[in-house]
Structure 1
Amino acid sequence: MTVSDLLNRLIMAVLTLMGVAVIVFCLLRIVPGDPVAMMISPSATPADIAALRAHYGLDLGLAQQFAIWFGDVLKGDFGTSISQRRDVLELIGGRLPATLELAFAALVFGVLTGGMIAVLGALARGTKLDPALDFINGLFLAVPDFVWALALVLLLGVFWPVFPLSGRIDPGLTTDFHTDFYLIESLVTFKFPAFADILAHMVMPMLALGLPLAAIVVRTLKEALAEAMVQDYVLLARLKGMSPLRLVLQEALRNAVGPTLTLTGVQFTFMIGGTVIVERIFSYPGLGNMAIDAVINRDLPLIQGIVLTFGAIFILVNILVDLIAAWLNPRSAAHG
């Protein structure tokens, strides 16, 4: 990817975020419901309601509301949450690290698990194990993340309670954190009891998000390895006496990983969006859980800030995947 390509992607990213901002702003004001109605008391007078609407700028026209809001966003001011009466960026900054840690843990689990099974499938190609792996993987592909979450709650939280059902850390742990990245901070500061507890709380939501991703990695990488294994350079290495495992890992894998990487990047962005339901099921205090509360409370500034945050993550991840793909296969990127 050349510098001009990167600049074009960044320009498109800015335009895309602007489009997302326009769409979400308009949709939130079209759907039924008045956020002020969620805040007023039964004894509020019409004057009180009018003053509250004026305070949040809801008495202005749609175009004027958007101009004021978007101008503030460009200055780094996403407004004040209607339901929590706190700065929107402060709320997002406090919850985003939990979601990112969960999503990256699920990504690592999904890629490593899916990669190992795909390699096993490539080695077992033509044997009785091959169709069995395809059948099992097909079942995993058919089950969405929220169904995994509910199943894990019943299996590992109720019938065989080995992991915590909710939360991010045991309230009894009095560890003081300097950042909101609890998992990373507890590891680098050698607070291993806190690290183990945080990881235990993360296991079930991580599995719920990571298992569908692992199934996608298996299908994509297994097909790519099958195509790579019949290429001339692999056949030549086979004639030289290279073992099947070395053929897959040393020769085929490096050329098969490109399509898998691209699809994994796309799926990762979808997985971050999937944290909304999974975090709710496990009462995990991340950005997705807060998004549901914001929708229930008709908290327009908070919803807008969360949607823009998810949009920015989606765009940045896709740009990063393109850069990694270009680094791994520069000739293909130059040709593209």
Structure 2
Amino acid sequence: MSRKVSIQTLADQLGLSKYAVSRALSGKSGVSEATRSRVLELARASGYRTSIAIAKPDNQESPDDSRESSFVLICMKQQNRGEPNYWERVLSGMLAACEERGWLHAIVSPPQELSPADVPAEQLIAPHVHWDQCIGIIVMGAFPYPLLQRMADIQLPLVLVDHQEPLLQCDTVRHDDVNAGATASTFLQSQHCRRIGFITDDGRSASFLQRRIGVQLGVGGDFLQQGTTLLEWQVPYERGHWGDEVLKSLEQIPEDERPDGWIGANDDIALEWMETLQKHGYSIPEDCRVIGIDNVWGASLSSPTLTTIQLSKEELGARAIEALERRLHRPGAPVETIMLSTRLIPRKSA
């Protein structure tokens, strides 16, 4: 983990009180079993050490000593390494799940450009590992199809995380990003927002595009007859410092037609935009409401605290390892797409 996980951290991520999380972790009464399970699952995936022993199911075998040197190959882009708000958290859940099973891991960043076809795929992807001890490949995020095809050619179980490739027959684990976008836009409309602004960067990832589709579906849903309008801004998210450009565009719109509710395609966008608005005299949530998608660490620390859609990042990583384990035990089973649900975390910005 890139930061210490505390009870307050768990509470912020789950939208619960610190008191409720503390009682769940200590095994005391006062919380439902469903809440206790949620708390313990996130604690385990986040690397938080509790005094409660989380028992394995009776039918789960102990790690096979004969496979103690077996490892999972985890492929992630170099620029995503050390990124604390998303990929490092997904990775932490993945590594915790590997540790539970007694599996080792190796993390590599395969080159985006393919070598000549006569170079073996193993040599291209990870030339320094012992492939005879590799039990499967986990791919984090989007990689070019030709590279993914070379990975599939290795004939090891392959699991894609937060990416889907229709041309490959492999298991996939991702968030329900369409639902996240739809929840964000529907919630703003429930707060009487009828002019919604959406700030995104479709070129960054497939998940951003899926969230955009969800926002559009939400605006075109139950509130369609109430005259909700949607305005969209594409920004260079990776470059940063785009807020002033959006503000200039906003000021060209008549004041009574400007959005009274804003959605960021992720929390970073929502937080930067909220700061820009406040710098130029807008009061939040009095003048307009702001909501993000992700539930990053900083969302609960902003002023006002950011309403957001929870994405279970550590659980995403853990589920990828579970999908790999299932594929090892049932190699002939149908390919699965596992889609984790999202959840609204209401705070003060909306």
Larger radius of gyration: 1
Please identify which structure carries the higher helix content.
Answer: 1
Of structures 1 and 2, the one scoring higher in RCO (CA 8 A, sep 6+) is: 1
Normalised by the length of structure 1, the TM-score is 0.25
Normalised by the length of structure 2, the TM-score is 0.24
